[in-house]
Structure 1
Amino acid sequence: MPQLIWRANQMARYRSATLSSGFRSLDDELPEHGWPRSALIELLLQQPGIGEIQLLKPALVSLSRTRRIALVQPPHLPDVAACRKWGIATGNLLWLPTTGTADALWATEQILRNGSCGAVLLWLSHVRTDALRRLHLAAQSSDTMFWLLRPAANSQDPSPSPLRLVLQPAVAGIQIDILKRRGPQADHSIYFRLSDMPVGPHQDNVKHHARLDRRLPATYSAGSSAAVVV
Structure 2
Amino acid sequence: MSAQLSTLSTAAQQLVSHMPHAIWRADQMGSYATGVTASGHPALDAELPNHGWPAATLIELLLQQTGIGEMQLLRPALATIAQQRRIVLVQPPHAPHIAAWLGSGLPPERLLWIKTARSADALWSAEQVLRNGSCGAVLLWQTQVRSEALRRLHLAAQGGDTVFWMFRPLTTAQDASPSPLRLGLRPARAGIEIDLIKRRGPHAAQTLYLPLAAMPSAPATIPPVRHALLDQRASAAISTRNLAPALV
Q: Which range, TM-score by smaller chain?
A: 0.7 to 0.9
2:8 is matched with which residue?
none
Task: Give me the whole-angstrom Cα distance separating, in 1, the residues matched to 2:239 and 2:134.
Answer: 22
Paired residue secondary structure (1:76): coil
- Cα pair 1:22 1:58 within 8 Å, conserved: yes
2:177 is matched with which residue?
159
2:77 is matched with which residue?
59
1:127 aligns with 2:145: yes
Bigger radius of gyration among the two:
2
Task: Give how far 1:43 is off.
Answer: 0.3
Task: Give me the whole-angstrom Cα distance separating, in 1, the residues matched to 2:41 and 2:24.
Answer: 26
1:2 is matched with which residue?
13
Task: Give how far 1:213 is off.
Answer: 3.2
User: Greater RCO between the two (CA within 8 Å, min separation 6)?
Assistant: 1
TM-score (norm. length: structure 1): 0.87
Paired residue secondary structure (1:195): coil
Task: Give how far 1:196 is off.
Answer: 7.1
Gapped regions of structure 1 (runs ≥ 5): 198-207
1:175 is matched with which residue?
193
Determine what percentage of the aligned residue pairs are the same residue.
56
The count of residues paired between Structure 1 and Structure 2 equals: 216
Paired residue secondary structure (2:143): coil
In structure 2, the CA distance between the partners of 1:31 and 1:66, relative to structure 1 (3 Å rule), is same
Gapped regions of structure 2 (runs ≥ 5): 1-11, 17-22, 216-225
After TM superposition, the runs of 4+ consecutive aligned structure 1 residues lying more than 6 A away are 220-223
2:104 is matched with which residue?
86
- Cα pair 1:99 1:223 within 8 Å, conserved: no
| AA of the residue aligned to 1:151 | P
- Cα pair 1:49 1:213 within 8 Å, conserved: no
1:50 aligns with 2:29: no
TM-score (norm. length: structure 2): 0.81
| AA of the residue aligned to 2:104 | W
In structure 2, the CA distance between the partners of 1:166 and 1:80, relative to structure 1 (3 Å rule), is same
